[in-house]
Amino acid sequence: MKRMLGRSWEEEIIMRKQPGLSQPIKFYLYGLLGYFLEVMYTAIWEFVVSRNWAFHGCTSVWSLPIYGVAGLGIEHLYFNWLQNTPAPIRGCIYLLWSFMWEFSTGYILRHFHACPWDYSAFSWNINGLITLEYAPLWFGAAICSEQLVVKHLRSISWAKNNNYSSGSLCVQCHKSR
């Protein structure tokens, strides 16, 4: 039996009858994940630099939409073009996407004096908006995001929960490879 995206035709039919999460929901989930990870990263960085046991982490409200779009971009790249591409090449493409997106959003936010980051102190910065020194971090984060989040988020859909007379919604996970 022919398989699509690693699923049998029967599984594919089930997936099509129960649509996945909407783009706005995925945008929000990717944004929240990025927001959380940035706060954790800055807390750990603060500890490493100053041994601050309070682990104060910070970010900007702008991070939520920035990471939301970044996650949708990686999802789009993976499912439309890169699924069968070797991981090192995918990582380089995601890195390029991350740098272009960070530079673009930083450029726009800086125009309004609202850019929350400034990499001017880094040796390999470009206009203070991106730094090539973070390339390994962004490369690894994108591949981890693809493997741990992007590939699995697609297998989640909203479905009617027949256990409740009100017809409430629940998250239903589909078996995926």
The pLDDT of residue 143 is: 97
Contact 77, 92 (CB under 8 A): no
Residue 94 belongs to a domain: yes
Q: Which domain holds residue 90?
A: 23-173
Hey, how many other C-beta atoms are within 10 angstroms of the C-beta on 110?
15
Residue 134 falls within a domain, yes or no?
A: yes
Residue 20 is predicted with a pLDDT of 79
Please say whether the beta carbons of 82 and 93 come within 8 A. Answer: yes
Residues 63, 38 contacting (CB under 8 angstroms): yes
In this prediction, residue 26 carries a pLDDT of 95
Residue 169 inside a domain? The answer is: yes
pLDDT at 8: 54
Q: Is residue 10 part of a domain?
A: no
The parts of the chain modelled with pLDDT lower than 50 are: 1-3, 9-10, 13, 165-169, 176-177
Whether the predicted model's global pTM rises above the 0.85 cut? no
pLDDT score at 21? 87
Residue 31, domain member (yes or no) = yes
Number of domains in the chain: 1
Please give the helix or strand (H or E) that residue 65 lies within, else none.
Answer: helix 63-77
pLDDT tens for each residue of 87-129: 999 999 999 999 999 999 999 999 999 999 999 999 999 999 9
* Cβ neighbours for 8, distance < 8 A, ≥ 6 positions apart: 1
Q: What angle (nearest 5°) sits at the alpha carbon of residue 30, between those of residues 24 and 34?
A: 140
Is there a domain that residue 83 lies in? yes
* Residue-level pLDDT at 157: 76
Taking CA 136 as the corner, what is the angle to CA 72 and CA 42, rounded to the nearest 5 degrees?
A: 75
**Residue 1 falls within a domain, yes or no?**
no
- Find the radius of gyration of the CA atoms of the chain: 19
